[in-house]
Amino acid sequence: RPRSIGSGAAVKTSGLVLVDCFVLKAEDGGPANADALAELVISAFRGQTLTEGGASVACIYAERSQGIDDSPWYFVPVKIEWFCYT
């Protein structure tokens, strides 16, 4: 969603990254490992600012939803909101 005010103003762009942390229940340890994977993804993004080519992307928040049993899979959805100015 690009937004700007006035001519020559910086443009703010924001968005969401959705990550589903899947594991096979029987082979990969089930819910506990999916929870651990979700926490690993969250910790990699929460509070981070990534810079490349003069543009900085800031993570506003990273959070998980409740795990979902979809046998033989178990997964935990993770949502990461970000923004940058260009």
Give the integer Cα–Cα distance in Å for 76 and 71: 13
Phi, psi angles (nearest 5°) of residue 24: -80, 125
CA 60 to chain centre: 10
Is the pLDDT score of 34 beyond 80?
yes
pLDDT class of 79 with cuts at 50, 70, 90? very high
Give the integer Cα–Cα distance in Å for 16 and 57: 12
Mean pLDDT score, 11-27: 90
Top-confidence residue, 26 or 45: 45
**DSSP code, position 38:** H
**What's the count of helices (H) and strands (E) in the chain, helices before strands?**
1, 5
- The model carries a pTM of 0.80
Report the largest interatomic distance among the alpha carbons of the chain, rounded to a whole angstrom.
Answer: 58
Residue 5: what pLDDT? 59
